[in-house]
Amino acid sequence: MKSKCLAVVIALLVLGMAVQTADAQTRKSGVNSAAFLKVGVGARQVALGSAATSFTGDVSNMFWNPAGIALQNEMMQASFTHNNWIAGLQQEVAAVSYNLEDIGTFGVGFMTFGISDIPADRDYGYTDPQLHALEIDAVGASVYDYQDLLVQATFSRYITDNLSLGVTAKYINEKIDDQSASAVAFDLGSVYSLGFMGWNIGARLNNLGSDVKFYDYAAPIPLTFSIGTSMIPITFGESSIMLAVDLVKPQDGQQYYYSGLEANLEKMFFLRLGWKFNYSYFGLLGNGIDGGTSQRAPIATSNEKGSFGGGVRVPLEGYALQFDYAYTVFTSLDAVHRFTIAVSVK
């Protein structure tokens, strides 16, 4: 049975690498639409440097690895995340999962991302008939809104006691002023537990789907492949230290290495640190500059530094509440604050 479980994980790895290899031949950096899908969800995941591929039993993980929402000892989970993103953008996320024990865990997630009341510089009012015929701006308001929407359904199931598999179907919509465009996509994921030291290995393929098309220009959504592992090498009573590492290859970027460390005190209080190698920008620890090519000099690829945060879990009769916070530092932009509130029902 273990050999079959490993075969499933390996098959997903091969699929992800094949898709990325083929796609890399035709896609270039900076061409993706629906960039909001790259913004991390969940204060815990982000505080741990987004190294979330191998996490399990967390409803917020439906936005990372769909296999990670599978529940064994709980009946339901729900969470809400608020993110004050850069440049005044706001991200609001809600997710809920329910465990049908003989079938699997079903989840539904919603995300909005955008900003309102942007001053408009309208392109209309020409007197020349030839220019008037080319006008495409039909709205006369002095401001406009930019809004992204994600609606998704996730299913995950433990195939064995050690292996969970998951799939997500997504509807994606981008709207700016009176123009909108949509796409559909799928995520695939797996998490395998080695059975000691809380050691998990996970793989995920995100945003395999259609392009977003405005007017006559279609742009691909951000296809991403990741493998990751997490383990608890240090345990003392009800307290522990967890380490997590992800290898992430986005369609329009270089290879990244995400890492996180979580200190758990009595399963009630949590401290977290995260760092993205080959991505984060911070002096001698990494300058956020890629290696360049034969055609150009190295360029800065990120303004992001590290992340850190904490959480509190409050166990109650039949359920538990959890409050998590993440703080992400940038070099030339305002720092980002994320808050997540979650409830688990046994």
Query: Could you tell me which residues are beta bridge partners of residue 99?
Result: 105
SS3 258: strand
Q: Do residues 327 and 336 make contact, with C-beta atoms less than 8 angstroms apart?
A: yes
Q: Assess if residue 67 is contained within a domain.
A: yes
Number of domains in the chain: 1
Q: Assess if residue 129 is contained within a domain.
A: no
Q: Assess if residue 133 is contained within a domain.
A: no
Name the token pair of 248.
């992430």
DSSP H/E element including 62: none
The answer to whether the predicted template modeling score (pTM) of the entire model surpasses 0.75 is yes
Q: Do residues 197 and 240 make contact, with C-beta atoms less than 8 angstroms apart?
A: no
- Over residues 49-72, mean pLDDT: 95
Q: Assess if residue 174 is contained within a domain.
A: yes
Segment 258-294, tens digit of pLDDT: 999 999 999 999 999 998 886 654 443 445 555 566 6
164/211 Cα distance (integer angstroms): 29
Q: State which amino acid sits at residue 185.
A: A
Q: In the prediction, which pLDDT does 121 show?
A: 75
Q: Which residue has the higher pLDDT, 303 or 181?
A: 181
Q: Assess if residue 134 is contained within a domain.
A: no
SS3 7: helix
Structural domain containing residue 279: 2-122+141-345
pLDDT at 47 over 80: yes
Phi, psi of 268 (to 5 degrees): -125, -35
CA 337, 46, 252 angle in degrees (round to 5)?
Answer: 110
Question: Can you give the CATH number for the domain in which 185 is found?
Answer: 2.40.160.60
Report residue 181 CA to chain centroid gap: 21
69/58 Cα distance (integer angstroms): 5
- Over residues 241-262, mean pLDDT: 91
User: Residue 3: pLDDT band by 50, 70, 90 thresholds?
Assistant: low
pLDDT at 175 over 80: yes
- Over residues 144-171, mean pLDDT: 95
Q: Assess if residue 312 is contained within a domain.
A: yes
241/198 Cα distance (integer angstroms): 11
Q: Assess if residue 37 is contained within a domain.
A: yes
Q: Assess if residue 136 is contained within a domain.
A: no
User: Residue 27: pLDDT band by 50, 70, 90 thresholds?
Assistant: very low
DSSP H/E element including 315: strand 304-316
